[in-house]
Structure 1
Amino acid sequence: MRRPIAVALLAAALAAAPGAIAAADAGPAAPRTPEGASAVLDGLKTYGQAVLRGTDGTARQIPAGLYEMRVDGGGMLQTYGVGVAGDAQPQARFTEIGWSGTPLAGNGEAGRIRWVLEHSYPQLNDLAGLAKAAGAAALTAENAAAGTQVAIWRLAEGARVEAVDPQAEKLADYLQREARRLPEPPASLAVDPGEVSGPLGTRIGPVTVRTGAQSVSVTPDAAAVAMGVRVVDAQGLPVTSAVNGGKLFFEVPEGTPDGSVEITLRGSTRVPVGRVFTSGVPAQVQIVAGSSESAAVATAKATWPRLPVAQPADDAAAASGGAMTALGALSEPASPLDSDSSEERLAASGSSAATPVIASLAVGLVVLGGLVVLLLRKRPLEDGPAPDRTPDPE
């Protein structure tokens, strides 16, 4: 019984070797550039006061209103906080993201928050008309911002919060009562999907551009330029710019080594109201209430992966023979090499992250080989005691 077990162990180790080496060569995934706009928070600019009541009966006064953000590459945003206890810090860096990556994911009131933003300050800067709709005597920019922020907190978190100013409180009640559900807004600039792959000799793609910009530039990275990879449209014509809905393809020359390239899309547009920005801290998520023309960036990646080699199924005898052959190859002494040929081989192979993995596998196979030898030597003992061949004394 020991011979099949030993052979199976060796065969399993040999089968796992290519996968382990490939994993070591792959390395960690490179970080992706955020899609859309990136910005730095300037701080709370237009605000009033609100009272937040805890479940234990406590009450504390907190600021409530509009933040401003400076967009990388140009542009300004006005935002409200989503979390009532966010305490977003000035100079924190934020990136545009969809609702699914924030506390709004799965929140049935998220669409109503967008309605509040579309129907209140600063989107509606006719404060007299807004006050009349809310049944308030008058509104200033400060208490209009406070009332809007209070309504957002109630919808986002069900917070027990009221505006200190009575007119701001009337606005908050009106917005919460009248809000209707709207769909999630699109990204300022995005690609769908963000990554494509395919074999050589075909057009890899398409990648579809999603943007509010009139046009965006399309720039291949240095690797694409070096390998002669072209970005083309559906007719195979070179592309240097694209519009909303445009489809991009990657043409990779035959014989190009396995690899990947990226393209960067840049444009300028208003970030849609209701779009979310995150700093990585869920409690500090900001939601867009107003935007100037702002810079936006997105990336798309194409890969042409190594095709797996199909391995024929072996019967038990072939597996045993293959395992023992591999073990013999590892145990054979290496043929001597002169210094020149050794240097040439090292230069041709280069350094690889898989080297420690290969060494570990080699050691493991040698150990397994030793176990096989021991098991095979012990087998006669399992068949019973050897016959006594000592001659009888005369």
Structure 2
Amino acid sequence: MDFTLDETAQAAKELAARIFADFAAGPETAGSAHATGDLRLRSALAEAGLLGLHLPAEHGGADLGLAAATVVLEEQGRVTAGAPLWPLLTASYALAHFAPEPDRLAWLGAADGAPRATVALEEFGPADPWAPEAVAQAAGDGWRLSGTKAAVPLGGGDAGAVLVSASAGGRPGLFLVDALAPGLAWEPTSTTDLAPAANLDLRDVPATRLGDGDGDDGAEAVLAAVLDVAVLGVCATQIGVMRGALALAASYLSQRHQFGRPLATFQAVQHKLADCYMDIEATAVTLWQAVSDVDERAARRATSVPVAQWWSAQAGLDVVHRTQHLHGGIGLDIDFPAHRFYLWARQLAGTLGADRDVLTRLGDRIASGESEWVLR
């Protein structure tokens, strides 16, 4: 399969790169990278039309599919420009494709920058995002949610709406709640990459369920589809982080000299960099296969998505470990950009499941014959 970007996606990639370069964290630490330029960055991306590339045209988007959103997220990761883009793009995808029209009109504003929405898809401990422990109960024409969601990006009043995963009678689904609804409480928390986040406590909170039909329109199918998009967003950002870390290491090693010649000319160093390059390209192939499968709603997305997720988690950490080590002592300096790439990669690698959990889910799907497992 040919994964070469078409002209439109390439143009989006170049435009995103220019905008992110203006907001790149530079020498700042990970915390200040998130604190500076966040709102201005989102506004700049919205004005350029880059936040709605994946949305249908009738919702103000460019109708270019997930591939276009993927290249934007990769460019963000490449410079670790602080903004919660993958949650925002995931939420807008869910609203555009699955929300009832009144809620879609009320909350869907990703294309023009307002209002904002986020996703609450994770819980504490070993909870599986595909089997949430938060509870949903039918109440009249709507639903009521109770439970706790962990480290919600853009947590608190900064998010207008929240898409929450919960289970009703043991069946998982996705629910839309107002971020300031009664019975909902936010507790600010710390994350590995130091991005703004908050734990979400739900106590009998009114909600709207997305998807009430059968098959692809059912509640379980809606949650699975949105989780697939969220995973792809995380993977695309991680690939950008990997590419940025490798570029930083290559630049440093070409300038740093030992024994009268650049460190980049040493064979052991070259082998480490080559390993990083191969891991990045292998991860990119699995991501683009998964993006294609999700866009086409192919059956094998059930396995190609976790394959991409495992590669981005495992290879992502391998790459940042190597590149940080190649910087020597300065790689441990928390004020040096190599440390920021490490923190971002560590956070992304554990988002929506650790690598061992992903392998378990992948194995279960292969064993059940849920989809073709061979990547084509």
TM bucket, shorter chain: under 0.3
Structure-1-length-normalised TM-score: 0.21
Higher strand share: 1
Larger Rg computed on CA atoms = 1
